[in-house]
Chains A and B, each alone.
Chain A
């Protein structure tokens, strides 16, 4: 029976994708060791929306509203001692929303986990995440939304760890609130996992596979500026959130632009000052609150080396990136089966791909698409099997109704007094009945 729940609430861009991949990849091993990895992930995403009372829930299937309750039921039904639920956008919940969510876990020992990294790096990260949803404001004139902006998923409300810990940990003893810092000087994620595992009581769990595929969804400086200009040119033609996430984020940003260049994005002096202030506030508040720290709070201070800003990007650089992006996008559209004339032309050969990073990214994209086809086919096959099962049931139901109809006809005939019976009709009913029932 579950005794302890580790609720990893965020924040975004703090190694959460890596940690969730490790948890998902090793869920069987962790289950053997007594720890449930609560999921699936889509359910966790919906659950975070339920907890945050996100109005976008209205546009999701009705079942999404029950996602938090289902995850809680999953946690309570677990036969092992511990469960881990991880999703970064729980971080945006208000104190009241967090209280309601934690109220559902009453009777269990809840530990809240907050991951955080160099807050200087968080600013361009948050800016480019907003670009993926249509932002057109240049970085130089943009600031992360303040803590008080409840609907901002990419601002200090979710990225500043002391804020998140204070909201989620308001009713918890400080030793049940954990702040895990992303090592600032290491590109090796195993140290981040070590810190996270320590917070979750998994330090002794051996045999875990940490070699998960790293998905690089970050844009380089030139590509981020290019995306900003594309957003401007789109002029609102891709509006709905779902459309933006699919076409701007997943296709253009992740499939195409993320593979072209990786030059880091710099910070304005104002941003640097802002990041320093936020880090100072966070470190002071975390120490004062007495939360358990895994790693080094100094990791939160901005330490990124100087880098160019988007307005330093030249028109030539943009043109070069735009040409590569256009070529990749064209090939992507063809591979995705978007034949504008509605028919495939036989004998069309694949265009030779550019070399270097774009080629590598293209290969990843193609692999993803190849991997996606069986996923779609399997889902279609599952739906077809379920429909076939229903059709079989309808067929059986129809056969029963015919039996009832035949029987009713015959009984009606037999119930008539002998002198009122139509001999022909009675015999017909008897024949029909014998044919169906005997």
Chain B
């Protein structure tokens, strides 16, 4: 059997050739999702350190003024 019209359409359209690309893209999306999770934690830490540095710089600035 040759498959349903939908499948034959997929063959005519040549979209089955995309399957490999979609697989790779899917793996990349999963890796990026894991990355995003880790980066969200990193971004929170960066926020905290940045706020601490800003406080420090402000204190230094006030000390230098006085």
Q: List residues of chain A with CB under 8 Å of any chain B CB.
A: 12-13, 16-17, 20-21, 24, 40-42, 45, 61-63, 88-89, 129, 132, 213, 215, 217, 245-246, 249-250, 254, 368-369, 371-373, 375-376, 379-380, 383, 386-387, 390, 393-394, 396-397, 400, 403-404, 407, 410-411, 414, 430, 433, 437-438
Q: B13, B43, B54: which contacts A372 (Cβ < 8 A)?
A: B13
A372–B23 CB distance below 8 A:
no
User: A217 and B49 in contact (CB under 8 A), knowing A400-B43, A414-B56?
Assistant: no
Cβ–Cβ contact A21 & B5, under 8 A = yes
Complex contact A372–B25 (CB within 8 A): no
Of A20, A383, A396, the residue contacting B4 (CB under 8 A) is: A20
Contact of A383 among B11, B13, B14, B21 (CB under 8 A): B21
Determine which of B1, B13, B32 lies in contact with A376 in the assembled complex, contact meaning CB atoms within 8 Å: B13
Contact B15 A376 (CB under 8 A): yes
Chain B 25-66, CB-CB to A under 8 Å as 1, else 0, gives: 100110010011001001100100110011011000000000
Interface centre among B5, B36, B42, B56 (most CB of A within 10 A): B5
Cross-chain contact of B32 among A21, A24, A375, A390 (Cβ < 8 A): A390
Contact in complex: A61, B19 (CB < 8 Å): yes
Residues on the B chain within 8 Å of A213, using CB: 5
Complex Cα spacing A213 to B11, Å: 18
Please measure, in the bound complex, the distance between the C-alpha atom of A393 and the C-alpha atom of B28, giving whole angstroms. Answer: 11
CB A371 to nearest CB in B, in angstroms, measures: 6
State A215–B12 Cα separation when bound (angstroms).
15
Q: How far is the CA of A62 from the CA of B23 in the complex (A)?
A: 8
* Residues of chain A contacted by B50 (CB below 8 angstroms): 403, 407, 433, 437
| Distance A45 CA – B7 CA, assembled complex (angstroms) | 11
Knowing A379-B18, A390-B32, A430-B57 are in contact, say whether A42-B9 is a contact too (CB < 8 A): no
Considering only CB atoms, which chain B residue lies closest to A373 in the complex? B13
Is the pair B23, A61 in contact by a Cβ cutoff of 8 Å?
A: yes
Question: Once bound together, how far apart are the Cα atoms of A433 and B11, in whole Å?
Answer: 55
Q: Give bound CA distance, A410 to B54, whole Å.
A: 11
Q: Chain A residues with Cβ under 8 A from B11's Cβ?
A: 245-246, 250
Cβ of A89 and Cβ of B1 under 8 Å apart?
Answer: yes
User: B5, A383: Cβ atoms under 8 Å?
Assistant: no
**CA of A12 to CA of B25, assembled, Å:** 35
Question: Which residues of chain A have C-beta atoms less than 8 A from B35's C-beta?
Answer: 393, 397
Cβ-defined partner of A217 (8 Å) among B2, B12, B29: B2
CA distance A145 to B4 in the complex (A): 25
Residues of A within 8 A of B2 (CB): 132, 217, 245, 249-250, 254
CB A64 to nearest CB in B, in angstroms, measures 9
A386 in contact with B25 given A61-B20, A250-B8 (CB within 8 Å): yes
Complexed CA–CA distance, A433 and B39 (Å): 20
Cα distance, A407 to B47, chains bound together (Å): 10
- Measured CB to CB, the closest approach of chain A to B22, in angstroms, equals 7
Q: A54 CB to closest chain B CB, in angstroms?
A: 15
Shortest B4–chain A CB gap in Å is 5
In the bound complex, how far is the Cα of B52 from the Cα of A433, in angstroms? 13
A249–B4 Cα gap in the complex (Å)?
14
- A-B pairs with the 3 shortest C-beta distances? A372-B13, A376-B13, A372-B12
The answer to whether A407 and B46 touch (CB under 8 A), given A375-B10, A390-B29, A390-B32, is yes
Residues in B whose Cβ lies below 8 Å from that of A386: 25, 29
Pick 17 A–B contacts, CB within 8 A, sort by A.
Answer: A17-B4, A20-B4, A215-B5, A215-B8, A246-B11, A250-B11, A368-B8, A368-B9, A372-B14, A373-B13, A387-B25, A390-B29, A393-B32, A394-B32, A404-B42, A411-B53, A433-B50
